[in-house]
Amino acid sequence: MIELRRPLTRRALLTSAVVVLSASDETVAAARKPKTRSTAPAEPIFPGTPLPIPRLVDLVDGATFDLVAETTRHAFVAGKPVDTLGYGGTHLGPTLRVTRGTRPKVRLINRLARPTNVHWHGLLVPSSQDAATHPGLRTGESWETRLDVDQPAATLWYHAHIHGRTARDVHDGLAGMMIVEDAESAGLGLPSTWGVDDIPLVLQDRVFDEAGRPVFEMTPARVEHGFRGPDMIVNGVTEAVAKVPARLVRLRLLNAANARNFRLFFEDNRNFRLIATDGGFLREPAELSLLVLTPGERAEILVDFAEGHGVLLTGPDGHEHRSGAHGAILPDVIDRPARLVAFEAARDELPTAKVPARLAGSTALDRPPAGVRRRRFELRVLPNPAASGGGLDPHAMHRSMTRGSVDRATETDSAPPLLLTINGRSFAMERIDEKVDLGASEIWEIVSPDMAHPFHVHGVHFAVLSEDGGTPKAWNRGPKDTVLVENGAELLVTFAHPADAARPFLYHCHLLEHEDGGMMGTFTVG
């Protein structure tokens, strides 16, 4: 249990409210100093590393922002800086903020040794403004686009999306948060001071070697179940500690893990308010004490730190595998709740925000129109008849995706033991799987007979109509673009943005090893 001690002094709060990614090693060392019984004023309430806050960049109407993919140095584990990847000189990237009704431009510049592209996950723009199906910029090349921003306020993200390499690239740091603002959200009176009472939390899990380097190795088990590590990182650091004001605070949560579902709750089991899902605000806040976020998903919650310090935990993520009537639970690499972030609450002079009774509300459809078209997508993990030895050769799958130079990724060279399929087929970029009419709404029925999959669709928002034949879970009742499909789900999808056959939109499992393995399809909208 966590001891509650005297509140932090105002000075302590001011000096630590916003910590940039380059927190000095002295800061880190001071924060990790073991607790003693002394009442010296510098004594930390929680040992750990100050939570880094990504730089917030406002994309300006008509102007161009350079998003530079490059290598950088970063200490995931305090005191152990290593080579890693990111954008603009930081591991992960800056948070890009865009405003509804503006048309800023972004130029992606590749200074990596590997090819790269970028997908704006959750941004509702024509496929021509998204590089997810771009085969990849070579070193030194750049790609520029305008972004026609026209959607409600929401927390989104961006990440590299090269087919077959997304798991490794996102693991290595090619991801960042993106925020859409609009006039309604500004009028809600929500906490909105970046890094103080409006705090981004990029949640990931890793395996570290002794040097503090994140290790990414592909094995058939990893391809089948996804990569899950025992060490939790938030905004790129282990043992994160955030200083927060002792009042209402907004947390923007992003699950940027390869495969882990974060099962989020506070150590004292306090309630919090869910105010937004992937695509923006709920109609009204939902009071919860547990929130499950699947890879790719976002949520915004309000937490009242007037209730005191809080520790955000994630529970073990064991998952079920089914085969006909048989089911087995695969245990997680962690067997007890793990700490994500400790929040030290201190009073300040500012008045607390109030939880709004109503939020901006989604305008998305949540009732299907008469005569709506239905499509069905069955997600399966199947043994590959073409693989040598009938399947699970531990060395065949992604043979070369092992540890090595941080800025190198090569492709698998032999038949994979498993086929990752949707409706019986693995991904092929040149094949168009579905053709949808521009402006249509459809019901997409997603079925996952073997195991749960996080299903994501590019270029749209959807409402979850049903989960496993019943009412959707509390956290699946807002506007969505990614949802964990445990058995089956019906999604009401509206297609408001065009995509042609040269640049189709994609739908896929967001468990990144499944996506890379081919559990993905293409669709046009026109």
Figure out which of the listed residues 132, 160, 162, 359 binds ligand C2O, where binding follows CB under 6 A.
132
Give the pairing of strands 240-245 and 49-50.
Answer: parallel
Number of residues that bind Cu ion (CB under 5 A): 5
Give the pairing of strands 262-266 and 310-314.
Answer: antiparallel
Min dist. Cβ of residue 515 to ligand C2O (A): 7
Number of residues that bind ligand C2O (CB under 6 A): 11
Figure out which of the listed residues 45, 299, 511, 525 binds Cu ion, where binding follows CB under 5 A.
511
For position 109 contacting ligand C2O by CB under 6 A, the verdict is no
For position 225 contacting Cu ion by CB under 5 A, the verdict is yes
- The nearer residue to Cu ion, 99 or 482, going by C-beta atoms, is 482
For position 453 contacting Cu ion by CB under 5 A, the verdict is yes
Min dist. Cβ of residue 510 to ligand C2O (A): 6
For position 161 contacting ligand C2O by CB under 6 A, the verdict is yes
CA distance readout (Å), 341 to 3, 52, 300: 16, 11, 16
For position 149 contacting Cu ion by CB under 5 A, the verdict is no
Cα dihedral sign for 168, 341, 178, 70? negative
For position 398 contacting ligand C2O by CB under 6 A, the verdict is no
Distance from C-alpha of 113 to C-alpha of 56, rounded to nearest angstrom = 27
Query: In whole angstroms, what separates CA 435 from the centre of its chain?
Result: 28
- The nearer residue to Cu ion, 266 or 377, going by C-beta atoms, is 377
For position 206 contacting ligand C2O by CB under 6 A, the verdict is no
- 511 makes contact, choosing from ligand C2O, Cu ion, none, with CB < 5 to 8 Å by partner type, with Cu ion
Distance from C-alpha of 190 to C-alpha of 359, rounded to nearest angstrom = 10
Q: Are 173 and 91 in contact (CB under 8 A)?
A: yes
For position 296 contacting ligand C2O by CB under 6 A, the verdict is yes
Q: Which residue type occupies 209?
A: D
CA distance readout (Å), 214 to 231, 412, 463: 10, 21, 36
Figure out which of the listed residues 163, 222, 508, 514 binds ligand C2O, where binding follows CB under 6 A.
508
Figure out which of the listed residues 456, 461, 477, 497 binds ligand C2O, where binding follows CB under 6 A.
456
Q: Can you read off the two tokens belonging to residue 490?
A: 């019906």
Give the pairing of strands 231-234 and 461-467.
Answer: unpaired
- 74 makes contact, choosing from Cu ion, ligand C2O, none, with CB < 5 to 8 Å by partner type, with none
Closest to 223 measured CA to CA, from 103, 387, 95: 387
Q: Which residues pair with 69 in a beta bridge?
A: 87, 110
For position 121 contacting ligand C2O by CB under 6 A, the verdict is yes
* Angle, alpha carbons 276-309-194 (nearest 5°): 45
Segment interacting with Cu ion, rule: CB under 5 A, options 21-29, 102-110, 145-153, 510-518: 510-518
Q: Summarize as ranges the residues that interact with Cu ion (CB under 5 A).
A: 225, 453, 509, 511, 514
